[in-house]
Structure 1
Amino acid sequence: MFCLTTLHISNVLTDDSPSPPTGVTTAEGVTPPTSTQLIEHLRIVETWSTNEYNCRNYFLNALDDSLYDIYSTIPTARKIWESLEKKYQTKVACSKKFVIEKFINFKMVDTKSILKQVDEIQVITHDLEVKGIGIKSNFVVGSIIEKLPPSWKNFKLYLKHLTDDMSLEQLVLRIRVEEDNRLNEKVDANSLETSANFIGEANSSRTKHNNKKEKQGSKNSSKDSKSHGPNKKNFKNNSTPCYVCGKNGHKAKYFRFRRGQGGNNGNNGGNSGGGNSGQANMVKSPNQFVAVIQTNMVCNCVD
């Protein structure tokens, strides 16, 4: 209707078609209409016909193709308008019982903005007022507080413990502040979680780097141990005596018996220590005994 009003053609939906002029009634009788009246009537009829044509075709042009054949047979725009109103205007949805049921069963959810849901309740309240079912503001405020979602339980209890009466505008302001605070806390929590994940990834990469270094160090140490193993030439040229047996040519870490663990001190000329090397190396099988002797063999015949 607003669109048709801006186009200055909505009068064909509310007014009747212009009737022809009847002339002027006098004591002598009815005089025929003057030429001026006839010209004015023709102008009005022409304007009406143009508006009727435009309005009817606006309706037909806006219809779906499946409905065009049905409504194209209706001769006037006013009849098309009335038929569309009867068919598509849901008067049941505008009834009082439906609006009351909609207000009572309305429930707020966390997935939508609370302020937008409060606006929906205000729209329903306005519909009730239009239908003649006036609701006091205190009842509307209490209903909105009771319809808050379960996640707003603490805020709901806070509002119920307030002693002063609140208007609907004050309640909306408090809800807006609470919702903004919740959104800010959610943003802060997400930023903290993101930074924690970033630090965790950095630590994991650092741990991998350290592990890599440790593996490389162990490889280098194994190489060093191999390269610094019992070299025969170094042993012969080494002037430092062995810590275990006291002889030159080898180091204490390659000696079979450590200090304090016993050994053949009489043959080796080392420090006296407890234990019997013969008993420690004795086995029942001669083959195994030979194997032990071979493992203790050195190239220097004197040693």
Structure 2
Amino acid sequence: MATEAERTKIEEAVVEIIRNGDLETLSEFSIRVMLAERLNIDFSGLESKLLVRRIVESYLLSLPDETENAVEVVREQSNKAPHCISYNICELSNRRSVSVKKFRGDTLVWFSDFYEKDGNQFDGGISLTESQWSAFKQGISAIEEAILKINSQKRSIFVIHETTHVYRGKYNSSPAFTPQRIIPIPNTRLSGRNYSCWMRQISFVLNQLKIAYVLTQPCPDTTPHDEAYSEKAAQAKAAARKWVDDDYLCRLTILNSLSDHLYDQYSKRMLSSKELWEELKSSYDEDFRTKISHVSRYMQYQIVDGASILEQVQEFHEIADAIIACGMRIDENFHVGAIVSKLPPSWKECRMKLLKEDWLPLSKLMYTLRAEENSRNHHSSNESSTYSRPGNKCVSETMKRKRLCYMCGNEGHMSKNCGLRKWVESSNGRNNANVPVIDEG
């Protein structure tokens, strides 16, 4: 790395060589050769080449306009091609840069890619003619849109609100911050209870992707037109194709923002983005729900693997409570049968045993499900625990000694102190109760 004194010495020597030389035939290579002879320094390295180039360009920029328009420095190509006039535009990285060159009468936009071979540095890359550069420039917006669409199709969508205005309230002041480039952050995934928060964030995402219009606008008409309207017909077909693509992207974006069990539920159904949007609104928007929507949720609910069965059953109870709150009654046997029928395939044996029961109240069902889930969790933990080795019965015997409440299936209390028992007893005292009464055997 050259010191400040050496850099000053090199700069003075370069300026002197340019002033005393013939600018029509002078090149960077010849300048470096003269510098090496004069200063006895090796200028074959990349840093030395870049230093000489910056000094030459700085000197040319300091020349008067009339001189700069009349004189151009000829830059050397490492492959020893014929001399060409070149202007360095920007550096993309340590090895890549963009420049504009006049080569054999043609103006080229040159994307350089420096590489080393056998200790020598070569300048590779691609060049675009003026017509090719014009076509490339027109497609930049399409490239940016394609990048945005590809990134939006990932399982987890990330986006942030663009800062354009400060909260003004009663004031009409100008923005305190300049607009910033959008950078991604994780968005909220719909679980069923956070619809309002999810709806605000997914609406922002769809608006940023410029595909929210498919939720309110139908697909453009592509009915054949007369020959006089062939241009309008082509535009209509192009608009229809864009609408179909945006509708597909909008549907995927909405599905990707759902929780796992909702994704499994809705991804199997062939719904358009608008149909999916309306169904989610009717199912989870508290202000939009009706009796029919609650019943629809009750019928379509499915218990899946990968999550706690008891938590999903509790969520199913909440849907039933919403139906009861609307003034409709659900028979206990019907509700128990619905829970059994919605158990996942991995619970097939348990479901078959429950279907053979002659008497299966809700409390007994909850106790059975609790015991089955604890048994499965205990079995899976034993497989990875050192206590599951043959001969070690400490854990299993301890689990066997644990007592469960036969009313709710929970541990830590007896049935006489169970909250479910108090709820059942209070339900027995009401006439025409909407919630099925559960008596102890």
Q: More strand per residue: 1 or 2? A: 2
TM tier, shorter chain?
A: 0.3 to 0.5
- TM-score where L is the length of structure 1: 0.34
- TM-score where L is the length of structure 2: 0.24
Q: More helix per residue: 1 or 2? A: 1
